[in-house]
Amino acid sequence: MSDEAYFSKGIDSKAPVLLLLHGTGGTETDLLPLAKEISPDSSVLSVRGNVLENGMPRFFRRLAEGVFDEEDLLLRTEELHAFLDEAAGQYEFDRGNVVAVGYSNGANIAGSLLFHCEGSLRGAVLHHPMVPRRGVQLPDLSAVPCFIGAGRNDPICTVAETEELIELLESAGAPVTAHWTAQGHQLTYPEVQAAAAWFKQVFLK
C-alpha cells in the first residue's frame, strides 16, 4: 500500500471510520470534502494508490479502459486489506467499523474488498463503480449495506454494468441502494448529498 496516507481522528468514536479511496489521478486529499458531507464527526483514513499509470496514481493496474489486470487487482486488494489491519492498530480505531467511500478506481478497489475479503468493510459508498471481478463466489454480505451512485449516461460504467454489480451484491445478501444521475461519470454534489442522507439513515440513526 502507498506510504501516502492521511488520518484524522473524529469526535464521534462510535461513528464508522471512513476509508477514502480516490479515482485515477487523484490523491489522498481528493475525497476529504466528501467525508465532511457524509459523516463530519467520523474518523477519516484516506490513502493514495501505489500504482502509477502515466504518472497518475491508481489502486491497481488495468490492461485497457474498463479491462482490469485481475492478478494485480487481487494483489492490491490483499495489500489494502492488510494495510487496514495495520492502520487500525497504529491509529487505534475499531477495525470492524470501517466504511469505504470510493470514486471510480477507488470504488472498484472497495468493491474488490467486498468481493474477496470477508469482514473487511462494514459498508460501502461506491461512486461510479464497475464489477471488480466475475465468476467468483462472494462472501455473505447481508450485514454490509452499500450505496451505489451511478450515471445513466456514464460512458465508463454503463447501466448494464451497474445493474450487474447491484445484482451480484444483492445475491450475496447485501442491502443495496442505488442513486441514478444523468451526469455521465462525473461525481456531482447532489449525488454526494444522496450518499450522505443514506449514510445518516443507515449508520448514524
Which residues are known catalytic residues? 104, 154, 185
Count of residues for the chain?
205
Rounded Cα–Cα distance for residues 111 and 68 (Å): 13
How many Cβ atoms are within 10 Å of 22's Cβ, its own excluded?
25
Helix (H) or strand (E) holding 98: strand 98-103
Q: Within the chain, how many helices (H) and strands (E) appear?
A: 5, 11
Helix (H, G, I), strand (E, B) or coil at 94: coil
Please give the grid coordinates belonging to residue 146. Answer: 452499500
What long-range pairs does 49-55 form, CB within 8 A, spacing at least 24?
Answer: 49/2, 49/21, 49/22, 49/76, 49/105, 49/106, 49/109, 50/1, 50/2, 50/3, 50/76, 50/79, 51/76, 53/24
Q: Which residues contact 180 (CB under 8 A, 6 or more apart)?
A: 150, 151, 152
| Run of H or E including 20 | strand 17-21
